[in-house]
Amino acid sequence: MHDDTKAKTITTLAQLEKYLQLTDEERVFGLLEGVLPLAIPSYFLSLIDKDDPHDPLRIQVVPTIHEGEHLEAEHIDPLAEVDHSVTRRLIHRYPSRVAFLVTDICAMYCRHCFRRRFTGTFQGPATRAEIEEAASYLAKHREVKEILLTGGDMMTLSDSKIEELLSIFREAREDLVIRLCTRIPAAYPQRITPALIAIIKKFNTAPFYLMTQFNHPRELTREAIAAVGMFVDVGIPAMNQSVLLKGVNDSADTLEELCNKLIFSRIKPYYLFQGDLVEGTSHFRVPLGRGLALEKELRRRLSGLAMPLYAVDLPQGGGKVPLTEGYLMESSGCAVWNFTTVEGKKSSYPKE
């Protein structure tokens, strides 16, 4: 992990108890084995209301005994990423894009993590040989147009390791769109520096996109917005992928505030994901019907620019499916299509 990040991170319940009065459900997490590790940067910890055990930021990062609950419908690899892996670190699920698992390390381990089969398993960053193996695959598969550098969090690597990573992929494919997937701007924005931005810009023969994860408006602090702004200022667009989480953002008011604050911060709300069916996360999942009701209300309140796409990543590698209220109601004979508007009114559109 990047040294500066590691030095300011809470990694044990004993350390955490110096800052927060842990609940019984949080304290007994220590009895579980084989679960996602604990890591909370002191920066993010400072944003938590220590007097509120139900604080939406606390819920995301402080583990509980509920992570030991595994439902029958859940799976350790619900998206079947292992089955779609073409090298040890490269996942090729969709025809035009791949995901490369840069590292299993995160600056902050979110308790709703869907990739807990890999994340925090102490395998460390990809080796140069593993990066070169993936790059060789991409050189041969020109149908791939985009790569997601994910994990784990690539921004936990040192600047020199990030430079090596980008150099190898760019040497193989100058034309590849690169998505930089990171939670660092929310978890530890101090990691984003002018030196890091300068390194990334050296490899802009094709576009970069910054893919962030902000789940609650309070995560969009002045520091977080400034960190993202460093990318945007040099021409790297920022797009946000939120997860719909029970007790965190499962209200129309919270999501409305989040999406509008994102837009104001020059970050496009891209996806609002239904929680994946991964083991140990059932206490976070919002019923899909409730999610659809929230999506309907958000579409009424938000502009098209501020509106994220509500989607579910189907189990067994079924892929992403958009979830939305059906506004096309029926076809009336041969003349028109009948619609219900976002406001609930009736309207029609001619077939020809």
Q: Give me the helix-helix angle, 288-301 and 252-264, nearest 10°.
A: 50
How remote is the C-alpha of 256 from its chain's centroid? 18
**What does the alpha-carbon distance between residue 306 and residue 321 come to, in Å, rounded to a whole number?**
20
**What does the alpha-carbon distance between residue 229 and residue 226 come to, in Å, rounded to a whole number?**
5
Token digits of residue 72: 């029958």
Catalytic positions, written as ranges: 93-94, 97, 106, 110, 113, 115, 276, 313, 320
Token look-up 């989480």 returns 245
